[in-house]
Amino acid sequence: MAEMISLSPGAPETPSLPRGQTGAEYDELTRSPRVSRRESVIPDLHEAGRERANEGDVSILVGGTTSTPRPPMAPPATDIAEPSKSQELQKLIPDAPVGSVALRKPGSYVVAMGNKFGILNWKDQSVTTVAHVDQDKPNNRFNDGKVDPEGRFFAGTMAQELQPAVVERRQGSLFVLLPDHSVTKYFNQIDISNGLDWSLDHKTFFYIDSLSYSVDAFDYDLKTANISNRRSLYRLEKEECIPDGMCIDAEGKLWVACYNGGRVIRIDPETGKNIQTVKLPVDKTTSCCFGGKDYSEMYVTSASDGMDDQWTARQPQSGGIFKITGLGVKGIPPYAFAG
C-alpha cells in the first residue's frame, strides 16, 4: 500500500508514519509575485565554470504566464530567473514562451522555448537560436525537457493551451538536440509532452504525455540514443489527476507531479506501483526536482492559471515553489548539455 504524507496549508505538519519512515515538511519559497504557471526547475551546479551549491537555492526558475493581465489567448509572457551573488533575483525575458532550461557544460544554459532550441548566455543576457522545430505548426511550443547522461537535450512540444490542460490533440512531438546542434525527431501525435528521465543504469527512458494519464517506459540505448519498446509503467488513479513533470531519485524511483492532484507521487519502476504520496496545499502541482547541497531537498513548482477568485482565496499559495525536506531519499545531479 502506498505511503501517504499529507501537508496542510499553514504551519508545516509532520504526520505519523510507519516505523522506519521519515516525515516530510515543506516550505513555500516564492509567494510574490504569484505566477500562473511554473513548468521547470533545476539545481545549478556551476557559475562561470565554478561549482556552486548554496543551501536551499534553486538557481534556475522558469516561469510561465505571469499574473499581468493580457488579452485572451495572447502568447504567455515567460521569464528565466536566477539569484545573483547578492541573492537578488535577476530576470531575462526571452521573445518566446520558455518550456525548459538545462545546464550546459561550457558554463551557460540550453533552452527550449517557443518552437526553437537556443543557447542562453547569462552574462550578456543573450539567447542564440541554434535550431527550429515544428515550423509547419505555428501554434506549437516547447514544454518540458531534460538532458540525458550523454549530454543530449530532449524536449517535447505541444499546441498552445486553449485553457489549462486543454489543447488541440496530437500536435506535439518529442525531439532531441544533439551536441552538434542537429535535431532528431523521435515520434509525433503527442498531446502534452511532459516529464522525462532515465533509469540509473541508463537502459530505460521514462516519459509522460500528460493526457495519456500514464508514465511510459522505453528501452534506451545510451550510445545511439535509440528508444524502443514503449509500454505503460503506471496509470494514474482518478484522484491523482494529470501527470506533469517528473524526476528520479538515487534509489531509482520516479517522482511525478500531479497537475490538479495537489501532490507528488513516488513510483517504483520495478513493480509499477505508487509507493509514496506527498500532498501539498495547492492543486496545480506542475514539476519537481531534487536540490540542496546533498540533493536531499525536493523542489515542487505549481501553477495558478485557470483559477477563479474563490479557488485562489482557498489556495493563495498557488503559483509558488515549495521545498520539501525529510523525505529520507536523495536525488542525483542533473546532466549538462554537451554542445
As annotated, the active-site residues are 244
Query: Which CA distances in Å does 2 have to 186, 254, 268, 324?
Result: 34, 14, 10, 18
User: 34: burial class by Cβ within 10 Å (0-12, 13-18, 19+)?
Assistant: middle
User: Omega of the bond prior to 33 within 30 degrees of 0, cis?
Assistant: yes
Contacts of 333 (CB under 8 A, 6+ apart): 43, 45, 295
- What string of DSSP letters covers 90-158? EEE--SS-EEEEEEBTTSSEEEEETTEEEEEETTTTEEEEEEE--TT-TTEEEEEEEE-TTS-EEEEEE
* DSSP 8-state symbol, 329: -
Pairing relationship of beta strands 214-221 and 226-235 according to DSSP bridges: antiparallel
Per-residue HEC secondary structure of 31-97 comes to CCCCCCCEEEEECCCEECCEECCCCCCCCEEEECCCCCCCCCCCCCCCEEEEECCCCCEEEECCCCC
Closest CA to 244 of 255, 263, 257, 260: 257
d(CA 276, CA 248): 14
d(CA 244, CA 308): 22
* Strand, coil or helix: 303: coil
Query: Which CA distances in Å does 151 have to 25, 105, 110, 313, 335?
Result: 33, 9, 11, 43, 6
